[in-house]
Structure 1
Amino acid sequence: MAEQDVHTNKTDQLKFQDPTTRYPSISPPKQDQPEPGLDADMVPKADIGEFSYRGTGRLEGRKALITGGDSGIGAATAIAFSREGADVAISYLPDEEPDAKNVARIINESGRKAVTLPGDLTDASFCSDVVNQAVEQLGGLDILVNNAGKQIAVEGLDDLPDDQLEQTFQVNILAMFRTTRAALKHLQPGSTIINTTSIVAYQPSPALIDYSSTKAAINNFTKNMATQLAEKGIRVNGDCLNNG
C-alpha cells in the first residue's frame, strides 16, 4: 500500500474508525536537534494533516498570516486553512526553509496561494514587515495567527541565561504585541486574531519557567485585546495547548 494511503486510512478525520486501533503503537527513537530544528529530520514524521485533513470551504476567500507556520501546530493550521479555502502566508526562521517549502507545496497543491516570509520575530522591525508583506502578497488580511514560540527546558532559575530569557519573551509575547499592532491597520470587521497559549499558563512547569510566564502573559493579552476589539467586530481567541 502506498505511503499516502497508509496515512489516509489511519488518520482521515471523516472516516469511521475504531479509536482504539486508529493510530499505531510506536516508540520513536531518541533524537535531538540543534535549534531551531526541522520537521523534515524528525523520525517518525509529524502528522500535520497533509493526508488527513479535508476541508468544507469554511474559509473560502480568506487571507491568513500564521507565524511559526513551517512546522508543528503552525504547519497543521496553515494546511487546514488552505483546505478550508484560505490563501496563507507563513513566517519562519530562515534556517527552517526546508519545512516552509514543504508546507507551501501542500498549500499550493490544495489549490490555494502560499506566501513564504522568512525572518526573525525577535527583530521588532520584522514583526511589522511580515504583516505588510503578507498584506501585499495576499491582497489583504482577514486572519492573524500568532503561533511562533520558543521553548527550552532548564533545571532551575540559576540555569536560565539572560539571552534565553530575553529571546523567549521577544518571540512569545513581544512579537505578538507587534504583529497584532501592525495587523490592526488592515483587519476589517469579521476578521479574527488567534493566539497560541498553553496549559502551562495555568499549571506552570518548573523546567519551563520563562516559557510558562510568557504563556500566562499571552492569556492576559488575549483577554485585553478581545475586550478592546469586540466593538470593532474583530474576534480574538486563545488556542490552548495541553502538552506545554
Structure 2
Amino acid sequence: MTEDPTQKHPRPEFPGQDQQHPGWTGPMDPPPDHGETSYEGTGILRDRKAVVTGGDSGIGRAVALAYAREGADVLFTHLPEEEKDARETAALVEEAGRTAIAVPCDIREEEQCRRLVERAVAEFGRIDILVNNAAYQMSQPDGIQAISTEQFDRVVRTNLYGMFWLSKMSLPHMPSGGCIINSTSVQAYKPSPHLLDYAMTKGAIVTFTQGLAQMTIGDGIRVNAVAPGPVWTPLIPATMPDTTEFGKQAPIGRPAQPAEMAPAYVFLASPQASYITAEILNATGGTPLP
C-alpha cells in the first residue's frame, strides 16, 4: 500500500527542545527514524568496504545501517562525546552481520584524518566507498556580525578541510569502481541568512564534487553528492534556537527523517549508478533548485 509522503513521518509543530552541541539521538522528540525497522537490503553492496564520517547519528547512522544491510562493512567516525550514539550505530551494523568499526575522530585535524584512512586500510585493505558526511553548523539569527572567527574556522575546517583531506588520502587506496559521496545541502542553492557560513561551505562542496569527479573518472572512480533539505537529526536541536516548526518550510510540510536520505547514498554507491558522476542528487522535500 502506498503512503502519502506528506503524512509518512511527524510534522511540525514539535515539542520545544534544546541540546548542547554536538547533540544526541536519545533526547530527541520525536525520535529520528534511521530505518531500523523499515530498511530492507538486497545485497547490492556485498563485501564493499565503506568509510562514513559522522556515522554515529542522523544521516550518517542511516547510511551506515543501509550499507550494512546491503552487504558492506562500515568504518565510521564520531566525536569522542558521541560514543553512546556510536555504540548504537555499531550494534545496528553488526546486527546486519557486517563489520562495524567506530573511530573517534575530529576531521578538522589533518593528522586525525590521516590516521583514520590508515586504520580503514589496515582493517579492510581498501576503501570502496567514502561518504563525506560529517558537518558543523551554528545558527546566528543576528547575521554576519554574530559569526565569530572561531565559529567560521570550525565550520570551514569541518565541512571543507576534512572532506578535502579524506578524499585526497583515500583515493590511493580506492580501486577502480570505487566512489566518493559528499553531503551538500539545499543551503548550497537557497542559503538561509542565519546559516550563512554553513551555506557557503555547502556551495563549495557542490563545486568540489563536480571538479573532483572529472579528475578521477579516468581511474574509474565516481564522485557525486546528495543535497538534503531539512532533516531531523541531533544537529538541529543542538544548533538552532527554535525547532518547533523545523521543516515546515519544505513544500512537503515536514523535515525528512534520516531513513529517507539513505537510499540516495545507496544508489550512488551501487553498480546501478555506473554512468552517474559529477552529479548532485537533490532530496529537498520539493524545494525547487536550479
User: Is the contact between residue 115 and residue 138 of structure 1 (CA under 8 Å) also seen in structure 2?
Assistant: no
User: Is the contact between residue 168 and residue 211 of structure 1 (CA under 8 Å) also seen in structure 2?
Assistant: yes
1:140 alignment partner AA: R
Q: Which deviates more from structure 2 when the two are superposed, residues 120-129 or residues 106-115?
A: 120-129
- Inter-CA distance 204–167: structure 2 relative to 1 (3 Å threshold): same
SS in structure 1 at match of 2:47: coil
After superposition, residues 1-244 of structure 1 pair within 5 angstroms as 16-19=1-4, 22-23=8-9, 27-154=13-140, 155-243=142-230
C-alpha displacement of 1:17? 3.7
- Inter-CA distance 236–21: structure 2 relative to 1 (3 Å threshold): closer
C-alpha displacement of 1:46? 0.6
C-alpha separation between the residues in 1 aligned to 2:192 and 2:107?
24
Structure 1, gaps ≥5 residues long: 1-15
1:42 alignment partner AA: M
Q: Map Cα deviations across residues 54-93 of structure 1 (whole Å, 9 max, x no partner).
A: 0000000100000001111111001000010000011010
- Name the TM-score, length of structure 2 as normaliser: 0.76
C-alpha displacement of 1:202? 1.0
C-alpha displacement of 1:41? 2.1
1:18 alignment partner AA: E
SS in structure 1 at match of 2:103: strand
How many residue pairs get matched?
229
User: Is the contact between residue 55 and residue 83 of structure 1 (CA under 8 Å) also seen in structure 2?
Assistant: yes
**Match of residue 259 from structure 2:** none
Structure 2, gaps ≥5 residues long: 232-290
2:156 alignment partner AA: F
User: Is the contact between residue 76 and residue 102 of structure 2 (CA under 8 Å) also seen in structure 1?
Assistant: yes
SS in structure 2 at match of 1:40: coil
C-alpha separation between the residues in 2 aligned to 1:94 and 1:45?
22
- Inter-CA distance 24–242: structure 2 relative to 1 (3 Å threshold): closer
C-alpha displacement of 1:209? 0.7
**Match of residue 11 from structure 1:** none
- Name the TM-score, length of structure 1 as normaliser: 0.90
Q: Which deviates more from structure 2 when the two are superposed, residues 133-142 or residues 69-78?
A: 133-142
- Inter-CA distance 198–24: structure 2 relative to 1 (3 Å threshold): closer
SS in structure 1 at match of 2:217: helix
C-alpha displacement of 1:199? 1.1
The structure showing larger relative contact order (alpha-carbon pairs under 8 Å, at least 6 residues apart) is 2
2:229 alignment partner AA: N
- Inter-CA distance 18–203: structure 2 relative to 1 (3 Å threshold): closer
2:68 alignment partner AA: S
C-alpha separation between the residues in 2 aligned to 1:56 and 1:23?
24
Alignment RMSD: 1.4
C-alpha displacement of 1:28? 2.9
C-alpha separation between the residues in 2 aligned to 1:139 and 1:51?
31
C-alpha separation between the residues in 2 aligned to 1:74 and 1:82?
12
- Inter-CA distance 210–136: structure 2 relative to 1 (3 Å threshold): same
2:85 alignment partner AA: D
C-alpha separation between the residues in 2 aligned to 1:224 and 1:25?
37
User: Is the contact between residue 10 and residue 30 of structure 2 (CA under 8 Å) also seen in structure 1?
Assistant: no
Q: Map Cα deviations across residues 116-154 of structure 1 (whole Å, 9 max, x no partner).
A: 000211111111111111221233210000000001110
2:136 alignment partner AA: K
